[in-house]
A and B are shown apart, each in its own frame.
Chain A
Amino acid sequence: MMHRVIHFFKNLKESQVGAGLAIGYLLFNLIFWAYPFVWLIILSFSDWRFFDLPIFSGLNNFFIVLQDKEFWVSLWNVARFLLYYIPIVMICSLAFAFGLQHIGRGKVFIALCFLLAHISSGVAYSLVFSKIFSSTGPLNSMLFDWFGISIPWLSSPSMAMFSIALVVTWKFVGYYGLILYSGLNAIPFEVYDAAKLDNTSAITRLFKITLPLINSQLIMVLIFAITVAFGVFTEPYMMTGGGPLNSTNMPMLVIYETAFSRLQPSRAALMAMIIALVSYALIKLVRRLFEKRVEIV
């Protein structure tokens, strides 16, 4: 029997194997993804409050969500978050990747230090950072001792989002940096040697050679960063509660609260769908604009 199965697989055409694997994946997702997803769509068009059956309510949820100021503010906050987060995390990860390339001894230690941030428990580090950032916390007392200033990291509406972006950066730099690093390592030396012969400056080398050659890793990091932005939850939940002045209120917080505090899961479902569509569109756009297929021989 086993032999026949193996034989059977050996004789399959490659495309059939591929499709078979794809179907396996789809089948799994039919059960554990599509079924709940259909439910989600049903919920968006109905009135459901956890108990009883959903009652069809047409576009009622749309009108309510459309008027929900908090939800739209939270979507705008994603844009503000991205504005801080993308440049900071991109530059830091690149710097980390380049820095790591220049280190001989202790590479492992340094990579470990940065990656530890990524595997720590969200609740724990948010708690730690809210203490570190507080007005009398260690960071401010250090700033005060050195420069005589103290920064309202989390209590000012204009700073809070920046601080959250910093914490999220802290978490992800090691991870993104290593992705970029693996890309950098794949670049053959000869490419640089040739460029050096042509006397190109370091900046030109960076923008003309290095960055295009790690394009696929950069896109990967960019996509991850965008998904993170739409999914931020634990950090604002623990550190600012979405405030001050709603400046760190993120969609996930609004959705969570709508579902589990306001007990309006069908409205929350609709919000989740809108968020999903917006983030999906943004990622599509990014890929279309920046993705290149570079074949490295």
Chain B
Amino acid sequence: MNAFNRGIKLTFLAVIFLLNACSDPKYNNESENQSIKLWIAPNEAQENFWKTAVNLWNESNIGMPVNFTTIPATGSSEKAILTALVSGSAPDISTNIFSGFAAQLANLKQLQELSHMEGYQQLIDSRHMQRIMQDWDLAGNKYVLPLYSNPTLIWWRGDLLKKLGVHKAPETYQDVYELSEKYAASENKFGMQIIAGKNWEDRWFDFISYYYAASNGAPYIIENKTSYSNQSGRSVLKFIDKMFKNNWTGLDFDSDEPLVTGLVIGAVRGPWDIEYFKKMYPETLEKIVIGPMLTPEAQKGKASTFADSKGIVIFKHSKIKKEAFAFISWVLTHPKLNLLWLQTTGLPPARGDLTSNPVFKLFYEQHPFAKKYAEYVEVAVPPALIENTVDVQKVMNSEMIEPLIFGRKNIDSALIDASHRTNQLLRQ
């Protein structure tokens, strides 16, 4: 037995030795507390914006210097932020927070309530965000300041519309039916792309977008229960169903950009696609006409739509919240930086005065596509501010949209099943 003990000791010593040999004594970096750590969305355009903004801030010595990096995300940026929070290596501020993740983090007490921070009211007033902030209210608290608000609109190939004798972007389901019937008559063509993709977040760009348009921006979740099982929900599903039954739309467009190849005439696209097309498919972009989200019947005024909106938060663990908020206020209220944001990213800043503020006037005169999106910011509704975003949208997928597409359920049972299952999950 003695031999055993010695064996154990030796192995143990070897492990300890290795532990010591490999560990780095200076991993402790307390001196870093002298600057505000900021994480930004991993996206080239946004990175360029923050580089300028942060440089300007640091050079002018208004407050504590800021140090920024992109969110070190390999999968989703939410995952990266979460891991960093768990490990204590999270920054003081992060951008790129969507509603569902904000709700989760707020419930887990990881976010700083902002409406009582010094200078909050001035910030809101200067950006005319009073109405916008109503969509970001969580039990009377505000944890996120939305940075941008991307309405979803429909892009149409103007040249193809003209060929079919249509001179205005379609606005109702009926318009699309007529169009699709003509266009899909030719071999291997579809009317429009409706289903945006396979993941839960794609439901923002199909069902939820259409639902907002059909219901005039009514919420799809009220007080932890679904509210889309109604006439509006039914008409959206009827539209999807009819398009699929007639083979006027397809499921899988992911190998090509279908608008470029002319596989479809129309598809839901966001303002980020303007820059993308400009870079990749400039010839196609010239032919694009932007129209509103489709509605069941012709409508007076602008049709509501979905807003892909992301915001900035301060984490609760931060020891320099005041300084951090000062920096955020400075960036968000700086007129030149607001313009710069628009110029570098093309995404509409989340503010209520986009079309009236003279700062943006020249830009929008020169960028008609961006202007179109700016016009819809006021009727664009962000997703429900709930913790269970993933579940809610996965159920939309698995109980409603997909069974409908594959002909396994009729419209009513799809709606009822999805609603039932969602409520079951939300109760847990």
Direct chain A–B contact by Cβ atoms under 8 Å: yes
Task: Provide the A227-263 mask, 1 if CB < 8 A to any CB of B, else 0.
Answer: 0000000000000111111100000000001001111
B12 pairs with A27, CB closer than 8 A: yes
Taking a contact as CB atoms under 8 Å apart, the answer to whether B251 and A262 are in contact is no
Identify which of A12, A50, A243 contacts B397 (C-beta below 8 A): A243
A20 touches B82 (CB 8 A): no
Q: Contact: B390 with A262, CB < 8 Å?
A: yes
Q: Cβ of A134 and Cβ of B8 under 8 Å apart? A: no
A36 interface contact, C-beta 8 A: no
B331 CB, nearest partner CB in chain A, Å: 28
Is B229 interfacial (CB 8 A cutoff)? no
> 10 extra interchain contacts, Cβ-Cβ under 8 A, other than A16-B7, A136-B255, A155-B251?
A8-B6, A20-B3, A31-B15, A51-B85, A131-B254, A135-B250, A157-B406, A242-B198, A260-B82, A261-B76
Q: Contact at B7–A20, with CB atoms within 8 Å?
A: yes
Contact with A along B1-12 (1 / 0, CB 8 A): 001101110011
Does B139 touch A at the CB level, under 8 Å? no
> Is A183 close to B, CB under 8 A?
no
Residue from A24, A27, A64, A136 whose CB has the most chain B CB atoms within 10 Å:
A136
Interface check B22, CB cutoff 8 A:
no
Q: Is the interface of B mostly helix, strand, loop or mixed?
A: helix
Q: Does A137 contact B (CB under 8 A)?
A: yes
A205 partner residues in chain B, CB cutoff 8 A: none
Measured CB to CB, the closest approach of chain B to A251, in angstroms, equals: 16
Q: How far is the CA of A19 from the CA of B1 in the complex (A)?
A: 11
Please list the residues of chain A having a beta carbon within 8 angstroms of any beta carbon in chain B: 8, 12-13, 16, 19-20, 23-24, 27-28, 31, 49-51, 64, 69-70, 130-131, 134-137, 152, 154-155, 157, 240-246, 257, 260-263
The answer to whether B108 has its CB under 8 Å from any CB of chain A is yes
How far is B400's CA from A244's CA once the two chains are assembled, in angstroms?
12
Instruction: Tell me, in angstroms, the Cα distance from A19 to B7 when the chains sit together.
Output: 9
Binary interface encoding of chain B residues 59-82 relative to chain A, with 1 for a CB under 8 A from any of its CBs, else 0: 000000000000000011011001
| Whole-angstrom distance between the Cβ of B400 and the nearest chain A Cβ | 11
- With the chains together, A19 CA to B2 CA distance in Å? 13
CB distance from A190 to the nearest CB of B (A): 44
User: Is B51 positioned at the interface, with any CB of A under 8 Å from its CB?
Assistant: no
> Contact between B108 and A51 (Cβ–Cβ < 8 Å)?
yes
CB distance from B355 to the nearest CB of A (A): 36
Instruction: With CB as the reference atom, state the residue of chain A lying closest to B74.
Output: A123
B375 near A: Cβ within 8 Å? Answer: no
Instruction: Return the contact of A243 from the options B4, B6, B198 (Cβ within 8 A).
Output: B198
B residues within 8 A CB of A260? 75-76, 78-79, 82
Nearest Cβ on chain A to B337's Cβ, whole angstroms = 33
Instruction: Kindly state whether residue B402 has any CB partner on chain A within 8 Å.
Output: yes
* In contact, B3 and A12 (Cβ under 8 angstroms): yes
Query: Which of B8, B85, B197 sits near A27, CB closer than 8 Å?
Result: B8
Contact B390 A20 (CB under 8 A): no
| 8 Å CB contact of A246 from B11, B85, B109, B398 | B398
Q: Report if B104 contacts A (CB, 8 A).
A: yes
Residues from chain A with Cβ under 8 Å of B76 in the complex: 260-261
The reply on B256 being an interface residue by CB < 8 A is yes
Give Cα A27–Cα B14 distance, bound, in whole angstroms.
11
Q: A28-B15, A243-B198, A257-B390 are in contact. Are A155 and B4 (CB under 8 A)?
A: no
Say whether A154 contacts B108, CB under 8 Å: no
Can you list 19 pairs linking A and B with CB atoms under 8 Å apart?
Answer: A13-B3, A20-B8, A27-B11, A27-B15, A50-B108, A134-B252, A135-B252, A136-B253, A136-B256, A136-B263, A154-B252, A157-B402, A240-B198, A241-B199, A243-B398, A244-B402, A257-B390, A262-B391, A263-B104
